[in-house]
């Protein structure tokens, strides 16, 4: 079993998958689209990756506001969740993703990745952070 993590943005979707033991998250790609409202190809690519990696669950980042409210971006993510569930037939778990993009950017800065090159990686790394947070949380539930 594998779990897929997604960082859903206005023009990109960062994609990560877990290892089969559900311990670590690895970034696999960034899906880019020209129009924010055109999701058919994005959903088709995610569906293909679900089959390729034998994914059984999807974790989707929920970009809540810092005061814990649901804003426009989070509403769009919730709509995307419904589309993912219909398209893939898999359960989709929403995961609080506040500050994951900031953390991804900081990690790249510390790794010495040049500022102009960071946009090529940030969504994939954010997807890894979303998925890794979920995996770590699941392990903590088992321990407790």
Q: Does domain 2-143 have CATH number 3.30.420.140?
A: yes
Q: Please, which pLDDT band fits residue 99 given cuts at 50, 70 and 90?
A: low
Q: How far apart are alpha carbons 37 and 53 in whole angstroms?
A: 26
Per-residue pLDDT tens over the stretch 100-122: 766 777 776 787 777 777 677 77
| DSSP states along the chain | -EEEEEEE-SSEEEEEEE-TTSS-EEEEEEEE-SSTT--HHHHHHHHHHHHHHTEEEEEEEE---TTS---HHHHHHHHHHHHHHHHH---EEEEE-TTHHHHHHHHHHHTT--HHHHTTTHHHHHHHHHHHHHHHHHHHHHH-
pTM above the 0.85 mark?
Answer: yes
- Asked whether residue 142 carries a pLDDT value surpassing 70, the answer given is no
Question: To the nearest whole number, what is the mean pLDDT of the chain?
Answer: 88
């Amino acid at each position: 079993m594998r779990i897929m993590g997604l960082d859903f943005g206005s023009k990109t979707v960062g994609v990560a998958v877990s290892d089969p033991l559900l311990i670590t998250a690895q970034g696999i790609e960034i899906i880019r689209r020209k129009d924010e409202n055109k999701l058919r190809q994005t959903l088709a690519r995610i569906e293909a990756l679900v089959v390729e990696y034998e994914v059984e669950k999807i974790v989707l980042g929920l970009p809540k506001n810092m005061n814990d409210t649901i804003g426009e971006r989070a509403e769009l993510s919730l709509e995307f969740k419904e589309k993912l569930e219909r398209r893939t037939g898999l359960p989709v778990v929403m995961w609080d993703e506040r500050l994951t993009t900031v953390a991804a950017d900081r990690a790249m800065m510390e790794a010495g990745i040049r500022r102009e090159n960071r946009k090529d990686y940030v969504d994939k790394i954010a997807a890894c952070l979303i998925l890794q947070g979920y995996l770590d949380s699941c392990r903590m539930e088992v321990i407790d």
